[in-house]
């Protein structure tokens, strides 16, 4: 050990203190949040997420009852009443409610407790260990969406612990089965447990996504008032069966393949719907050129002859400007020398806001040009959009603006879908909103290998979420 003089130690301590001040994130202290012990709440959040990732709720089969019981233990310790209900054996759902003075409609904090399966061989850590390494918390669900579940939980608990007077009820709901369509989760709750959502006017859940630059600094926070709707179709061709040694030109497989070829060659026209126009315009400031100018004036861009080929370089954007078709499932004979009497294909189509299933079915029928092929709808729900002219949207904008002077709020249209539609159908204003700004590289690991959340984004997101809910719900 080297010897230091008192003076040099003092100078060093002063230097470190100044350095800490200089490096502190530019978070504005808020008098309204002064009573939250952030240091304690953040470490509770990290510990809880690590423990929650260890509760394996891979869907299928789900086993979300384990997660519901995990939440229940916490509610029990905090003295908060809750209810658990199973939509089917093992498919648990949980609710807890903080009472407000009833002067405004309730806010639902909705999170799905299931996660998608993992391919363990491609992970560099155990996906169900909740490991903390290299500034990340690793594991299946760490982004989608156990992290947001814990942030909703701690926001809810902290309102209770601090005894904050509320002007609206806050309803915490953890559901099963989102990753498989939500019929055993949010869809079931809305239908079979209407008392759980009684009095609700607003709902927040996953979706939209928020972007950070490579240093982790937030660029924008997304709010999703609408999303594309699934039109999952099954096409079935039937025909004469026979021996594979004597070909049948118009066999079921041949006619199905001809129909699929037409679908594959079909280039869906570009269509600028109002929510997507808003999305592009609000995202424009955060895009590099030439996309900044294109997004700022999407009508002019789409009128250019090279618009389609340019958009093919941005498939995520193109998918928001067209209906899409992915051929995903094929089946025919299970024996190589039998020409089967039936062949079928499954299509994952996603429709732009405003498109009905009837209109889309007619379009597919026109493209395949073969009336003998049967079309069945596997999954669809009606398109619905929530207004952004609401006090909840205003609270999100205010909180983002107060914490981050340089980051904005972008209205997005999700290319996929979440549980939001079940609530929009009931007239509840529902937004996808994720308070964690992450890089594209981090975001791309959702449903993939080595899913992980940057711990700093997670902690910052906890504070941002609290600001929003507190502002939106506290009694004035
Ligand atoms: Zn999810």
How many domains does the chain fold into?
2
| CATH code, 300 | 3.30.70.360
At 242, which helix (H) or strand (E)? strand 242-243
Q: Are residues 105 and 184 in the same domain?
A: yes
pLDDT of residue 84: 98
pLDDT value at position 382? 86
- pTM of the prediction? 0.87
When the pLDDT of each residue in the chain is averaged and rounded to a whole number, the result is: 93
The domain boundary, picked from 380, 398, 426, lies at: 380
Summarize pLDDT for 386-396 with one digit per residue, the tens.
999 999 999 99
Both 141 and 243 in one domain: the answer is: no
Asked if the model's pLDDT at residue 6 lies above 70, the reply is no
Give residue 222 CA to ligand 1 midpoint distance, Å. Answer: 15
Residue 141 alpha carbon to ligand 1 centre in Å: 8
Enclosing domain of residue 49: 33-207+418-473
3-state secondary structure of 244: coil
| 232 contacts 417 by C-beta, under 8 angstroms | no
On whether both 185 and 50 belong to a single domain, the answer is: yes
Gap from CA of 158 to ligand 1 centroid (Å) = 24
Domain boundary among 317, 350, 380: 380
Residue 96 belongs to some domain of the structure: yes
| 292 inside domain | yes
Question: Span 416-426, mean pLDDT?
Answer: 95
Shared domain check, 191 and 233: no
Q: To the nearest whole percent, how much of the chain has pLDDT over 70? A: 93
How much distance in Å is there from the Cα of 417 to the middle of ligand 1? 9
Q: Clarify whether residues 44 and 84 are in a common domain.
A: yes
Distance 144 CA to ligand 1 centre (A): 5
The whole-number pLDDT of residue 20 equals 46
Return d(Cα 314, Cα 292) in angstroms, integer. 13
409 within a domain of the structure (yes/no): no
Which of 2-11, 30-39, 453-462 is predicted most confidently? Answer: 453-462
Distance 203 CA to ligand 1 centre (A): 15
- Give the distance (Å) from ligand 1 centre to CA of residue 446: 9
98 CA → ligand 1 middle, Å: 25
CA of 429 to the centre of ligand 1 (A): 19
Calculate the alpha carbon distances from 455 to 69, 118, 293, 301, 466 in Å: 25, 22, 34, 39, 17
Determine whether 86 is exposed, middle or buried from the number of CB atoms within 10 Å of its CB (0-12, 13-18, 19+): middle
What local confidence, expressed as pLDDT, does residue 31 receive? 41
Handedness of CA 71, 201, 385, 469 (dihedral sign): negative
The CATH number of the domain holding residue 77 is 3.40.630.10
What does the pLDDT read at residue 41? 98
Residues within 5 Å of ion ligand 1 by Cβ? 144-145, 206
**pLDDT at 1 (0 to 100):** 39
Task: Give the pLDDT band (50/70/90) at residue 32.
Answer: low
Would you list the DSSP string of 290-336? THHHHHHSHHHHHTSTTHHHHHTT-HHHHTTTS-EEEEEEEE--SST
**Facing residues of 427 across strands?**
none
| pLDDT tens, residue by residue, 155-204 | 999 999 999 999 999 999 999 999 999 999 999 999 999 999 999 999 99
At 303, the pLDDT band (50, 70, 90 cuts) reads: very high
Q: Based on the fold, state whether residues 359 and 424 are members of the same structural domain.
A: no
**Could you tell me if 377 and 360 are in contact, meaning their C-beta atoms sit under 8 angstroms apart?**
no
Question: Pseudo-torsion of CA 36, 39, 42, 43, nearest 10°?
Answer: -130
**How far does the centroid of ligand 1 lie from the alpha carbon of residue 223, in Å?**
15
- Expressed in angstroms and rounded, the spacing between residue 195 Cα and the centre of ligand 1 is 24
Position 469 in a domain:
yes
Residues 104 and 203 in one domain: yes
Task: Give the contacts of 3 (CB within 8 A, at least 6 positions apart).
Answer: none
Q: How far is the CA of 5 from the centre of ligand 1 (A)?
A: 56
The rounded Å distance from CA 208 to ligand 1 centre is 11
Is 11's pLDDT higher than 90? Answer: no
The alpha carbon of 113 and the centre of ligand 1 are apart by a number of angstroms equal to 9
CA of 178 to the centre of ligand 1 (A): 7
* Residue 265 and residue 166 share a domain: no
| Ligand 1 center–CA 206 separation, angstroms | 6
Residues 373, 457 share a domain = no
Instruction: Give pLDDT tens digits for 110-147.
Output: 999 999 999 999 999 999 999 999 999 999 999 999 99
Q: Measure Cα distances from 101 to 105, 106, 169, 451 in Å.
A: 10, 10, 8, 41
């Amino acid at each position: 050990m080297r010897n230091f003089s008192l003076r040099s130690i003092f100078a060093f301590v002063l230097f470190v203190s100044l350095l800490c001040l200089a490096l502190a994130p530019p978070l504005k202290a808020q008098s309204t949040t002064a009573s939250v012990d952030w240091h304690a709440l953040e470490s509770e959040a990290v510990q809880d997420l690590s423990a929650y990732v260890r509760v394996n709720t891979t869907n299928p089969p789900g086993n979300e009852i384990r997660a519901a019981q995990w939440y229940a233990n916490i509610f029990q310790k905090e003295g908060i009443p809750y209810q658990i209900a199973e939509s089917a054996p093992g498919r648990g759902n949980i609710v807890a409610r903080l009472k407000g003075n009833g002067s405004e409609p309730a806010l639902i904090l909705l999170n799905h407790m299931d996660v998608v399966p993992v391919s363990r061989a491609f992970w560099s850590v155990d996906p169900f260990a909740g490991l903390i390494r290299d500034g990340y918390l690793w594991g299946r669900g760490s982004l989608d969406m156990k992290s947001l579940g814990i942030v909703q939980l701690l926001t809810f608990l902290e309102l209770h612990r601090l005894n904050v007077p509320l002007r609206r009820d806050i309803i915490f709901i953890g559901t099963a089965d989102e990753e498989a369509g939500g019929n055993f989760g949010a869809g079931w709750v809305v239908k079979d447990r209407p008392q759980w959502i009684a009095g609700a006017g607003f709902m927040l859940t996953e979706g939209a996504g928020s972007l950070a630059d490579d240093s982790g600094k937030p660029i924008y926070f997304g709010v999703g008032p609408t999303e594309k709707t699934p039109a999952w179709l099954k096409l079935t061709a039937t025909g004469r069966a026979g021996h594979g040694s004597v070909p049948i030109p118009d066999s079921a497989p041949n006619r199905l393949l001809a129909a699929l070829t037409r679908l594959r060659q079909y280039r869906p026209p570009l269509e600028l719907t109002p929510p997507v126009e808003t999305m592009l315009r609000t995202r424009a400031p955060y895009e590099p050129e030439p996309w900044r100018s294109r997004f700022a004036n999407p009508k002019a861009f789409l009128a250019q002859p090279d618009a389609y080929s340019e958009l093919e370089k941005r498939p995520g954007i193109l998918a928001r400007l067209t209906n899409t078709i992915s051929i995903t499932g094929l089946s025919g004979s299970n024996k190589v020398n039998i020409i089967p009497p039936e062949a079928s294909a499954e299509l994952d189509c996603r429709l732009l806001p405003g498109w009905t299933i009837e209109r889309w079915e007619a379009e597919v029928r026109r493209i395949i040009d073969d009336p003998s092929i049967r079309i069945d709808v596997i999954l669809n729900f009606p398109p619905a959009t929530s207004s952004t002219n609401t006090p909840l949207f205003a609270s999100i904008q205010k909180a983002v603006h107060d914490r981050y002077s340089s980051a904005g709020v972008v209205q997005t249209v999700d290319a996929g879908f979440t549980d939001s539609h079940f609530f929009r159908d009931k007239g509840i204003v529902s937004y996808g909103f994720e308070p964690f700004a992450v890089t594209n590289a981090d975001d791309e690991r959702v449903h993939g290998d080595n899913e992980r959340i940057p711990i700093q984004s997670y902690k910052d997101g906890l504070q941002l979420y609290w600001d929003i809910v507190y502002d939106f719900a506290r009694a004035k």
